[in-house]
Each structure stands twice: as C-alpha cells, then as structure tokens.
Amino acid sequence: MAIHTTLRVLLASSILGLSSLSGVQAQQPSKPECIAPAQPGGGFDLTCRVAVNGFLETKLLENAMRTIYMPGGVGAVAYNHIVAQRPGDGNAIAAFSGGSLLNLAQGKFGKYSVEDVRWLASIGSDYGVAIVRNDSPYQDLKSLMEAFKADPSKIVLGAGGSVGGQDWMKAALTARAADVDFRKMRFVAFEGGGEAMTALRGGHIQAYMGDAAEAHTMLEGGAPIRVLAVFNDKRLDGALADIPTAKEQGFDIEWPIIRGFYVGPKVSDEQYQWWVQVFDRLMKTPEFARLQTQQGLFPFNMSGPELDTYVKQQVLQYRELADSFGLIKK
C-alpha cells in the first residue's frame, strides 16, 4: 500500500513538474525581437543592443533575439504598430526613451496614449550632451553659447526628432540658457541620432544635442567629435568623466533620459510577468552590468508596476514642460 502511495505521489510530482516546465517553454518567445524605432546607429539601436547581447550572453532566452528597425515619427510608427497590429504578440519588445514619453505627453503618437501599452523594463539612464566636430572652433560650451547669442542664425543645431521632441527640447533649453528666443534658433530634425551624427560629421550642422551613451559609443568607434558638456547636475562616471557639466560652465541645463522597453497592450499577464522576471534576472548579472557600462548607460533598473508608475509620472511632468514652450494645443 505504501509503495502504491509513493508511486502515485512520484507520478503526480512528475506530471506537475512537466506541466510547470511546459508552461515555462510556452512562455519562452519562439521568435524574440527588439523593435528599434529608428535607423541603425542611434539611442534606440543602443537600447536594443543591450537586450539582444545581454540575453545572448546569459542564455536567458532559448532563441536568439534579433533587432528590427522601424523608423518613423520618432517612435510613433513602432508604437502604433505594436498597439494596432501586434497587441498580443509576446515575441516583440519595443525600445523607448524619455523622448518617447515626451512625444506621448504632447499627443504625437496619434490616438494612442501612455495607457495603451504595457511598460516592461528600464535598462539604464542616459543624459543629454552638446556635441560638435573635433575640428570645431568651439572648445567648450561657453564659446558655443557666446556665438549662439551673438547670431542665432549662424549656429545650426541638429538632433534626432521633430520640433517638441527631446532633442529639440535640449536645444530649446540651451537657447533659453543662452538668453536666445528659442523661436529664433535654427534647428534641423533628423530621424534618429545616427542621421544627426552623420550630418554633424558632414558639416551640415554646427552642433548636435545628443545623448551621452551614443556619444560614448561614437568616441569608442573613433568618430571625429568633441563633447562640450553633459546635461546633468554632476559629472558622469566612466569614459565621459572628464566632460564638464553645463552647470560647471555657467548654464543651468539638465536632461536625464530613461531607456527601456514596452510590450503590446494585450500581451497576456502570464507572458508579461515572464518578460518582467527575465529582465529582473538579466539586470542582476555581471554581463548586464558590463554591457550597461560599455554602452555608456547608468544604472536605472526598474520593471513591472514600478516602471509603469514612473513612466506615467514622467509623462505628466513632460506635458508641463512642453506647455511652457507653447507646444500643447489648447
């Protein structure tokens, strides 16, 4: 009798174990992909790279994740694609940044709002920077600002995104700090940081209001650029530690940037929790810490409901800032 009972217990345990295992297998995305909402080379590409390489090195995903580039509307095309065409697809995660949230705050993603996706995980923070070519006459932020103030028409500022986007906002805050009417600044919008950097290197713009992480990547690759200032309240650690802040140079400009991922609104709770847990596991690994540092990102690891709350608070704050520049239609 005891033997039969033991066998039944073992059999039940085996069945439960197989069920649990099959559940895990079912949650593993069969064709995982990271959607980068821009051309290769900018901040969204960098964001996907951290996830793709992190999961590859840690083997937390059974199938290799690939990056899909989906430029358009500085994230709007990808956002609409996920919400309207792949709302329940658990294979796809899409990259976002503080710029995405700023655009959402201004209603630039069409009929969709911050409530229309499931915010998954942040993989670090970044900071705004002012970049010029390495042969530029401007050796520091002060010299650039002096030229900008003397004749705003002679300094063409470029960045990824349109008027009202985060790079435009960095340029507008720069203009405000230089006592220049932001409506008089010459601003050229590009589809992502990669295109803006190409324009800078080609001499089509004088300065690029970019991000520290992509500047770090460009410098590592030998790009002929000079970083004039970091838009943070203190100097950054790592490769950009020698770059002074805008505040050090007399200009009150700060622009922190979150980077992370979201999934479709109809992704099941089970699949969503699986992604949250796998990101939580990834962010505890030494491989992730190394990748974060390599890409010039700074720790800002958040996931699930905590990230959801943070994102929605940020959107409210960005809406107030955009309103101060007359960007909110009333």
- What pLDDT digit, counting tens, does each position of 277-302 carry? 999 999 999 999 999 988 878 889 99
- pTM value is 0.76
Residues in the chain: 330
Model confidence at 267, pLDDT cuts 50, 70, 90, reads: very high
For residues 89 and 96, give the distance between their C-alpha atoms in angstroms, rounded to a whole number: 17
What pLDDT score was predicted for residue 78? 97
Asked if 129 contacts 196 with a C-beta cutoff of 8 angstroms, the reply is: no
Predicted confidence (pLDDT) at residue 252 exceeds the cutoff of 70: yes
* 149 HSE (CA, 13 A, CB side): 11
Highest mean pLDDT among 85-94, 183-192, 214-223: 85-94
Range with lowest mean pLDDT among 102-106, 171-175, 216-220: 216-220
Predicted confidence (pLDDT) at residue 22 exceeds the cutoff of 50: no
What pLDDT score was predicted for residue 166? 84
Cβ atoms within 10 Å of 261's Cβ, excluding its own? 26
Model confidence at 239, pLDDT cuts 50, 70, 90, reads: confident
Residue bearing tokens 């995980």: 121
Residue bearing tokens 């010029």: 132
Predicted confidence (pLDDT) at residue 13 exceeds the cutoff of 80: no
What domains are there in the chain, each with its CATH number? 31-125+257-324 (3.40.190.150), 127-255 (3.40.190.10)
Predicted confidence (pLDDT) at residue 266 exceeds the cutoff of 90: yes
For residues 268 and 248, give the distance between their C-alpha atoms in angstroms, rounded to a whole number: 48
Predicted confidence (pLDDT) at residue 19 exceeds the cutoff of 70: no
What pLDDT score was predicted for residue 5? 42
